[in-house]
């Protein structure tokens, strides 16, 4: 049944686009979302090769067996591969399984997700190629890199997983959702990036003090000051006339 609804939703979206509506406006009119219990999900970063990461979301549908197992070292081991997880676990692997939603607007065609590592910090960012500053959706601290251990990501305040719905029907697609409009989030991300850029310049230096004014007893400086004042005034200037001798 879910494939039928997905196919119908896709055909409706094509019809809206053919009518001349923008793609994001069509998606906003077509799809809605509903809140989800966050404890049923694990947002994970899977290590790929020596330096790359892949975003993975797991959902626990039934209580047992567990779809993932926290380890003592802080990493997470996906355990759903040990049994037939049909009807027990769900995996969301790429943009077909999850996308961005902000202010009630579906932004899956505009933003893409990336995992960016800087030292021991790992950031889940939503990036619009037309914008300089990405949106910070979640982050984690990397304790160690283990090919069999996934890094659990914590979503930033205001972000939550929601289910895409179509005419009241829940679809097999998740949103990383925020209630604020995306323009407001972009403005905050841009201002935060500017502050961090200025902070790298260091603390502001006090202005250099001007040289001290000349004292009254300094005759040469006072004479110079008088000459300067006279040149700057509107009084006539007396010039020395040299007699002409043929």
Per-residue confidence (pLDDT) for residue 15, from 0 to 100: 41
Strands across the sheet with 41-48, in order? 89-92, 52-60, 41-48, 151-152
Per-residue confidence (pLDDT) for residue 5, from 0 to 100: 39
Per-residue confidence (pLDDT) for residue 2, from 0 to 100: 42
Q: Kindly give the parts of the chain with pLDDT less than 70.
A: 1-29, 194-246
How far is the C-alpha of 223 from the C-alpha of 123, rounded, in Å?
68
Query: Under the phi-then-psi rule, with left for phi > 0, alpha for psi from -120 to 50, and beta for the rest, what region is 49?
Result: left
Per-residue confidence (pLDDT) for residue 19, from 0 to 100: 39
Per-residue confidence (pLDDT) for residue 112, from 0 to 100: 97
pTM over 0.95: no
Per-residue confidence (pLDDT) for residue 143, from 0 to 100: 87
107-124 core/surface letters (b: 16 or more CB in 10 A; e: else)? bbebbbbebebeeeebbb
């Amino acid at each position: 049944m879910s494939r039928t609804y997905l196919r119908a939703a896709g055909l409706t979206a094509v019809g809206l686009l053919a009518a001349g509506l923008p793609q994001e406006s069509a998606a906003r009119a077509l799809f809605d979302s509903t809140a989800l219990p966050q404890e049923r999900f694990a947002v994970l970063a899977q290590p790929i090769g020596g330096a790359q990461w892949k975003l993975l979301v797991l959902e626990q549908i039934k209580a047992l067996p567990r779809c993932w197992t926290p380890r003592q070292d802080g990493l997470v081991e996906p355990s759903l591969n040990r049994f037939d997880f049909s009807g027990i676990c769900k995996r969301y692997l790429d943009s077909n399984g999850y996308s961005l939603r902000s202010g009630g607007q579906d932004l899956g065609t505009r933003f893409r997700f990336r995992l960016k590592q800087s030292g021991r910090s790992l950031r889940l960012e939503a990036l619009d190629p037309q914008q300089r500053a990405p949106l910070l959706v979640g982050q984690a601290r990397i304790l160690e890199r283990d090919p069999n251990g996934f890094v659990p990501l914590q979503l930033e305040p205001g972000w939550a997983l929601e289910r895409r719905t179509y005419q009241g029907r829940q679809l097999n697609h998740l949103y990383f959702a925020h209630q604020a409009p995306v323009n407001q989030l972009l403005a905050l991300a841009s201002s935060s990036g500017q502050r961090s850029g200025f902070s790298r310049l260091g603390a502001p230096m006090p202005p250099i003090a001007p040289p001290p004014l000349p004292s009254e007893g300094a005759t040469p400086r006072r004479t110079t000051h008088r000459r300067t004042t006279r040149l700057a005034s509107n009084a006539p200037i007396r010039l020395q006339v040299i007699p002409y001798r043929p």
